[in-house]
Chain A
Amino acid sequence: MSWAYPQYKPTTSWVLDSERFNENLSEYAQETDGKLNEQNFDRVTLDEMVNVNQAGVSADLALKFWRVGTKLIDPTGTIPKTPFTSDWSPIASSTQLFYAPAGKIFVAISFQYANAGAFSGVSAPGSVFAIELDGAVQMSSIVGAADISNEYTFVETDASADILYDSTPSFRAVFEPKCVTGVFQISQGLHQVRGVYRSLPSYAIAASIHGFGTVETNIVWGWA
């Protein structure tokens, strides 16, 4: 036990003092009430309580999620085009408003991106993508040209240019799937999450060069 043992220890033939006896009881109350901590609970036991009997999870301890999803395009479809933008601009159909208690949220926005400029034969810039939470772009979530693992690959669309493809993959980045994810701390209240994009600088800027389709935003709130 994590609390001190009772101080008053009557022995044989003592007259029991009720005050002392009550003090012993009080020690139990004072040492435990409001002060039980992780040392009083076995982690394995708690895991088993939840795992073996899922009813052991109360609703207010459990998590919540919100999601918005759209099915806009497939390979045969037409991707709606959006303009070149130097500022962060919203990804269509990715916005989710939600009311949550204070805690942490995991946000994942998965979407289909198209560089419509390249598709139409116009040299076009790539994009970077991010999560916007309550109007603030979350820099830790940025994915795009700066992300080596999924970098945008610019490919000249003029076939007569005889590009040396030995150093340039054939992946044209006309259509590419993307994900932006992040974990954020929020306060209690109404919040808004959405995906945003920003065009990379380009020497030739088409009016409408980017496209987004099949966007799915998932938000999982966890107590913290």
Chain B
Amino acid sequence: MSWSPNYVEDGDHLTAVRIDGLFTDAQTWLTGGVTALGLQRGTFNYHHATSVLTPNGEGYTVVNTEDSNIMDYTWATFGASIQWATFGQNGGSGDSGDLGSGDRAIVGHESTGYSGDKAQIDFPAGGFHVGVDNGDMVAAILLLFNGEISQAAPGWGAFSATHPEAAIVFSIQYQADGSGTWHTIKRSERFASVYDHASVSDETADAEEIDYDVPIISMLTEAQINADLGDASAHKISSIRAMVTSYDFQGVQEMAFVIRNFRLTALPLLMKDED
């Protein structure tokens, strides 16, 4: 047994103090001394364990907030076709919020048809130190992203039948300490290719329905932050966002696309780091 009472023996002086002491022993065990041996096997279930995963008992999610509207990534929005060069850092310079530029933009970017939430999560209280020994017991942040490419229209220039004309490129970035540089998680870069067939069919170039879901699952680790910032223990990861751009494989053509739905989730994980 993990606990047993102090039994009264014949001849003991059973004073009030003695009796109180016996019950206090039991109370102490019940209130602060119950060990694993004291628990019935199977006692705890998912109701009790939900908060073990994350510091706040749940993750953080942002979705498009205007279901019926779409996000246009066109030269009408940006002044020119956004063309991938490298995600690199930050969001470039450009329109309001510094989130769209000549080479990339945030998913959920404001456009003619959309003024809802952007694909950016700002963690409460300044965020988390990543690394189990860095104060918040967050060993990593699991990142999940889905973005639906609704339409794409590559190719205003020469047509090539045997080459993918363009790709729509996604990436997840993070920011530390509430300001400053946005760092790209390079492993999260994904792209889906689209094709210009305007010259071989009766389709118009700007109305190709794709409705393709781009899924990304990645993990922001202490090792990644150490590599980007030098010392993960000195920085709180404060924000996560999803970026998008396009890439023309021939390098000369305009590109436009539309995103309809997105969902970005960040799950700071309380656990042991076995990375």
Hey, which bits of chain A sit against chain B, CB under 8 A?
Answer: 16, 18, 21-22, 25-26, 28-29, 32-38, 41, 43, 46-47, 50-51, 54-55, 57, 59, 61-67, 69-71, 74-76, 98, 108, 110, 112, 119-121, 149-150, 155, 157-160, 162-166, 169-179, 181, 214, 216, 218, 220, 222-223
Contact = CB atoms under 8 A, between A and B. Distances in A.
Q: Which of A25, A46, A70 has the most CB of B within 10 A?
A: A25
A65 B164 contact: no
A60 to B, nearest CB: 9
Contacts of A171: 149, 152, 192-195, 208, 210, 212
Among A54, A160, A166, the one with the most B-chain Cβ atoms within 10 Å of its Cβ is A54
A126 to B, nearest CB: 14
Contacts of B47: 38, 43
B221 A67 contact: yes
Nearest to B249: A75
Given A37-B39, A165-B197, A175-B192, 4 more contacts: A33-B3, A65-B140, A169-B209, A170-B197
11 contacts: A33-B2, A34-B2, A47-B48, A54-B137, A63-B53, A110-B215, A159-B197, A163-B197, A163-B200, A169-B212, A174-B193
Contacts of A21: 8, 14
Given A25-B7, A37-B40, A175-B164, A75 B191 contact: yes
B254 interface: no
A132 to B, nearest CB: 17
A70 B187 contact: yes
A51 B125 CA distance: 14
A129 to B, nearest CB: 12
A67 B9 CA distance: 60
B167 interface: yes
B158 interface: no
Nearest to A72: B187
Interface string B166-185: 01011000000000000000
B167 A175 contact: yes
Contacts of B189: 71, 74, 112, 214
A135 B126 CA distance: 43
B216 A28 contact: no
B275 A66 contact: yes
A125 B247 CA distance: 25
Interface stretch (B101-109, B110-118, B230-238, B265-273): B265-273
B86 interface: yes
A169 B210 contact: yes
Interface stretch (B30-38, B62-70, B72-80, B92-100): B30-38
> Which of A59, A63, A162, A163 has its CB near the most chain B CB atoms (within 10 A)?
A63
Contacts of B197: 159, 163, 165, 170
Contacts of A150: 212-213, 215
Contact of A38 (B7, B43, B152, B169): B43
Q: Which 9 pairs, one residue from A and one from B, show the smallest C-beta to C-beta distance?
A: A159-B161, A63-B271, A177-B190, A25-B5, A170-B208, A175-B193, A179-B215, A110-B217, A121-B162
A24 B216 CA distance: 61
Interface string B116-148: 000000000000000010001101101000000
A46 B142 CA distance: 24
A120 B162 CA distance: 7
B134 to A, nearest CB: 12
A37 B38 contact: no
Nearest to A106: B142
A170 to B, nearest CB: 4
Interface string B1-19: 1111101111010100000
A57 B7 contact: no
A41 B273 CA distance: 29
B26 interface: yes
Contacts of A64: 271-274
Contact of B48 (A38, A119, A163, A164): A38
Contacts of B191: 74-75, 112, 175, 177
Residue from A74, A75, A165, A220 whose CB has the most chain B CB atoms within 10 Å:
A75
Given A46-B48, A71-B187, A172-B195, A35 B40 contact: yes
* Most A Cβ at <10 Å: residue of B14, B22, B163, B217: B217
Given A63-B269, A171-B195, A75 B167 contact: yes
Given A175-B191, A178-B215, A62 B137 contact: yes
B169 A75 contact: yes
